[in-house]
Amino acid sequence: MVLSGFSRLPLRAVLFADGVLARLEGKTAQGVLRHSVVLDPVAVIDRLHPPGTTESVVPGTAVPVVPSLERALRFRPEALVVAMTESDHVAYADGRPRHAPRQPGDLPAFWWEQIAAAVRNGLHVISCLHLQLRHTELAERVAGGQQLIDVRRPHGILPKYSGRLRRTRAKLVHVAGSDCVVGKRTVALQLHREAVARGIDAGYVGTGQTCLLAGCTEGAIVDRAPVFQAAGLVEHLVLRADPRHDLLIIKGQASVLHPAFGGLATAILQGSRPDAVVFVHDPRRRFRYHWEHLPLGDVRSEIHVVEELGGAPVAAVASRGRENVRSLRHLGLPVVDVLDGDGTAELLDALRPMVIV
């Protein structure tokens, strides 16, 4: 796994989420704060966030939010985690923050300064950037014992999909959704946590950067695989995890109907060959995340497409907020908010007939 080179985990980490901690673009930092078992966040860097802690963004956490690495060093971190990509960049315009994505490798000066300061102060750097830091001059400044880790690197094994091999032990739940950033990862990790708490031998197959930084049984950055090998990579990860667990949970990316990412979403869905699917949807969203000219598809139609492509039933729907949950009852499926009360327990109960022997 991405942090397998460390002899001791979790690492005390500063999360770099400049300008995005409380925004949708801050999903990686939020996911690490809420779910990571391999990173122990001791501070978050975000110059735009009000002084205080992460409690207002991720309830139940109280990690200090600071404006720079210099202010975070007093918390004795071991690593700086760049918990965002160039496309998550936020800038001020007319006194308001706005999404201002940058091209891979086009880093603001402040980002470079903070990463260089981490190297200078002896911290490991764990980067989610598209830019591969190990191919920059920073790699020459790393001292003995320091590690410079690019999370978004291609997986070492990229097989073609076979479809011949079958799981011998684990049942599998796939978490799909109607768009990017609707809560698929939160649902998947909450479900995994609930299953483990109930004594179920459950594993997690990660498909993106946040999953790898949260800690998973097997994982890869699937969008770094060539399109004709993405399903094969997922099949490979699932089959490696299968002998170790009774239940596996995997999260899809984006949506199978997304014009830009539908191929990736379909590859993960079909490569995993699920026994049941959880569908995540925000009924308030009318247009695709950062594609405001592209309307979302009809939720009933997409659920049907997911079932056809995945060959498994959608057993439940997840959303965020009680009003959203109520508005989706018409689908005739269990609808839950996994961050509200017993929502995760209700979700696992809905899945039990299909995946728990």
One domain, residues 335 and 259: yes
Say what the pLDDT of residue 2 is: 84
Tell me the pLDDT tens digit for each residue of 284-332. Answer: 999 999 999 999 989 999 999 999 999 999 999 999 999 999 999 999 9
In sequence order, the 6+-apart residues with CB closer than 8 A to the CB of 6 are 147
In sequence order, the 6+-apart residues with CB closer than 8 A to the CB of 43 are 14, 15, 63, 64, 65, 66, 71, 72, 75, 77
Q: What is the mean pLDDT of the chain?
A: 96
Which of 150, 180, 200 finishes a domain?
Answer: 150
Residues 167 and 310: their CA atoms lie apart, in Å, by: 15
One domain, residues 190 and 123: no
Classify residue 261: in a domain, yes or no: yes
Instruction: Write phi, then psi, for 338 (nearest 5 degrees).
Output: -70, -10
Predicted confidence band of residue 264 (pLDDT cuts 50, 70, 90): very high
One domain, residues 214 and 290: yes
Whether 19 has a pLDDT exceeding 80, the answer reads yes
One domain, residues 219 and 100: no
One domain, residues 143 and 226: no
Classify residue 262: in a domain, yes or no: yes
Residues 9 and 250: their CA atoms lie apart, in Å, by: 23
One domain, residues 83 and 216: no
Which of 98, 118, 150 finishes a domain?
Answer: 150
Classify residue 164: in a domain, yes or no: no
Q: Are 120 and 141 in contact (CB under 8 A)?
A: yes
One domain, residues 310 and 258: yes
Say what the pLDDT of residue 305 is: 98
Residues 320 and 187: their CA atoms lie apart, in Å, by: 10
141-169 average pLDDT score: 93
Counted domains in the chain: 2
Chain centroid to Cα 220, Å, comes to 11
Pull the structure tokens for residue 270. Answer: 């079909």
Pull the structure tokens for residue 158. Answer: 């990229």
pTM (2 d.p.) = 0.94
Residues 341 and 197: their CA atoms lie apart, in Å, by: 15
Tell me the pLDDT tens digit for each residue of 209-260. Answer: 999 999 999 999 999 999 999 999 999 999 999 999 999 999 999 999 999 9
One domain, residues 130 and 213: no
Say what the pLDDT of residue 94 is: 81
Residues 70 and 287: their CA atoms lie apart, in Å, by: 40
Classify residue 156: in a domain, yes or no: no
User: Could you tell me where the DSSP H helices lie in 203-335?
Assistant: 209-214, 227-241, 262-272, 299-310, 322-327
Which CATH number is 210's domain given?
A: 3.40.50.300
Classify residue 268: in a domain, yes or no: yes
One domain, residues 16 and 141: yes
Classify residue 160: in a domain, yes or no: no
Predicted confidence band of residue 165 (pLDDT cuts 50, 70, 90): confident
One domain, residues 199 and 78: no
Nearest to 267, CA basis, from 158, 143, 124: 158
One domain, residues 145 and 175: no
Share of the chain above pLDDT 70, in %: 100
Q: Are 253 and 208 in contact (CB under 8 A)?
A: yes
One domain, residues 135 and 78: yes
Q: Structural domain of residue 347, as residue ranges?
A: 171-355
120-134 average pLDDT score: 97
Say what the pLDDT of residue 100 is: 94
Whether 138 has a pLDDT exceeding 80, the answer reads yes
Half-sphere exposure of 175 (CA within 13 A, CB side): 29
